[in-house]
Each structure stands twice: as structure tokens, then as C-alpha cells.
């Protein structure tokens, strides 16, 4: 054990609004931060908050397990449900676990080869996100979607691959609930 990198044990509590306390100041993502992610942005939408992330102050190194909660607001951009940007881990083989805490959502997982899965995220779900799978959360409910995430500390985040190639499916509001729509590569 390298004692120069030893951390002190600490405790954080989940608050009713989905935040963690203590935690670093939240990272806020508004619609204007998500250019290119939604298929169609109606001009009258303004700039709503889409989600925020509360992260414990843990160094991003291989020996640690960074932890965070994400609070993803309900709503749609056009027909498309509010969602996170989504990313791959920069070190592709690094894995992650999501634990659903509140609300009703879907987790879209995709490989760079175009395989994909869609799983629920809601209270009592534990989603295992293996290395190699890009991941994006989507709020398909009427309340904020809150989930806890923890991942291998040196994973890093690659947003560019998703910005360039998108995900193979989009989650749209339909008359009978969420619709999973396949996206041709050109239109992602
Ligand atoms: C999560 C995400 C969080 C926000 O903690 O970072 O839900 O989504 P984006 O990072 O895609 O904006 C996680 O998967 N961390 O690795
Ligand atoms: Zn991740």
C-alpha cells in the first residue's frame, strides 16, 4: 500500500433532491451544452436544465471508485426524451455500475460495432455497464430520474465518439409510451 495516496474514510448522504452532500459543486448540463445530441431542437425551447451530476471528491486513479448521482429532469426536446450526452470510457475496458434511485428511465448501451441494448433504470435496478459499451440515460417518466453511478477510477470519459457517431437508437415519446427508434448512421 502506498501511504502517500491513502485517503481518509468519509461519508456522504443522499438528499431528497438526489444530490449528495458533501460533494463537489454539481456539473450542470443545459440544452445549449448538448448541441448535436438531439435530432431536432424546436427554436422556442429556450435553454432548460437537462441534468446535473453530483460527484464525490475522489481522485480519478485506478485504485479509486469515483461515485456520483445524476438528476435528469423530465421532458422532451421535440419528441425526444431528455437524456444525458452519453459517452464511452476513454479506457474502453473500464466498467461501471448504475443503481436506480428515483423516477423512471431507460439506459441505452451501444458498442462501437453497432450492437445495442436498452434496459430500465428505476428504483431497485442495478445496471452493470461492461467495458466497451457506450452508455446514455434517458428519462421517460414524469419525475426527475435519479441514479447513482460508480466506475473504475482511471476510466476517463470519451464524449467525442458519441458526438461523431451518435447511438444506434433514439427514445421518443409515443402515444403508448416510449418508442425506441433505430437511427440510420447518417442521421445520428
Ligand atoms: C455517469 C455520467 C452521468 C452524466 O456518472 O457521467 O450520468 O452523463 P454524461 O457523462 O454522459 O454527461 C457515468 O456514466 N460516469 O462514467
Ligand atoms: Zn460512464
- The tens digit of pLDDT for each residue in 58-78 reads 999 999 999 999 999 999 999
CA of 52 to the centre of ligand 1 (A): 10
Residue 70 Cα: closest atom of ligand 1? 7
Q: Which of 145, 142, 153, 143 is nearest to 52 (CA)?
A: 145
Does the structure show a pLDDT above 90 at 187? no
Percent of the chain with pLDDT over 70: 98
Does the structure show a pLDDT above 70 at 186? no
Residues with CB under 6 A from ligand 1: 53, 68, 70, 84-87, 96, 135, 137, 149, 151, 157
Task: Give nearest CA residue, ligand 1 atom 3.
Answer: 70
Of 38, 87, 151, the residue with max ligand 1 atoms within 8 A of its CB, to mutate for a pocket test, comes to 87
Q: How many CB atoms are located within 10 Å of the residue 168 CB?
A: 18
Peptide bond into 22 cis (omega under 30): yes
Identify the band that residue 184 occupies on the pLDDT scale cut at 50, 70 and 90: confident
Residue 29 Cα: closest atom of ligand 1? 12
Measured CA angle at 130 (ends 93, 166), to 5 deg: 85
Dump strand ranges (E) for the chain: 13-14, 20-21, 27-30, 49-55, 67-72, 76-77, 80-81, 88-89, 96-102, 105-110, 116-121, 126-129, 134-139, 145-151, 157-158, 169-174, 177-182
Neighbours of ion ligand 2 (CB under 5 A): 96
**Its pTM surpasses 0.95:** yes
**Ligand in closest contact with the CA of 139:** 1
pLDDT of residue 2: 79
Tell me, what DSSP letter sits at residue 83?
A: B
| End-to-end Cα spacing for the chain | 46
pLDDT of residue 80: 98
Q: Round to whole Å and give the CA distance between 121 and 82.
A: 14
Q: Round to whole Å and give the CA distance between 121 and 123.
A: 7
Does the structure show a pLDDT above 80 at 130? yes
Amino acid at each position: 500500500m502506498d501511504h502517500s495516496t491513502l485517503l481518509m474514510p468519509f461519508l456522504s448522504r443522499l438528499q431528497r433532491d438526489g444530490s449528495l452532500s458533501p460533494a463537489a459543486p454539481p456539473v450542470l448540463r443545459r440544452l445549449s451544452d448538448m448541441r448535436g445530441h438531439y435530432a431536432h431542437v424546436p427554436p422556442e425551447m429556450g435553454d432548460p436544465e437537462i441534468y446535473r451530476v453530483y460527484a464525490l471528491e475522489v481522485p480519478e486513479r485506478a485504485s479509486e471508485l469515483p461515485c456520483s448521482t445524476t438528476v435528469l429532469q423530465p421532458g422532451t426536446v421535440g419528441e425526444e426524451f431528455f437524456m444525458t450526452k452519453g459517452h464511452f470510457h476513454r479506457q474502453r475496458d473500464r466498467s461501471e455500475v448504475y443503481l436506480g434511485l428515483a423516477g423512471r428511465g431507460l439506459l441505452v448501451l451501444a458498442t462501437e460495432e453497432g450492437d445495442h441494448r436498452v434496459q430500465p433504470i428505476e428504483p431497485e435496478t442495478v445496471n452493470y455497464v461492461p467495458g466497451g459499451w457506450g452508455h446514455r440515460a434517458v428519462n421517460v417518466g414524469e419525475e426527475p430520474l435519479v441514479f447513482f453511478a460508480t466506475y473504475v477510477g482511471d476510466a476517463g470519459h470519451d464524449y467525442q465518439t458519441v458526438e461523431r457517431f451518435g447511438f444506434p437508437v433514439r427514445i421518443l415519446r409515443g402515444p403508448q409510451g416510449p418508442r425506441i427508434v433505430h437511427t440510420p448512421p447518417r442521421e445520428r
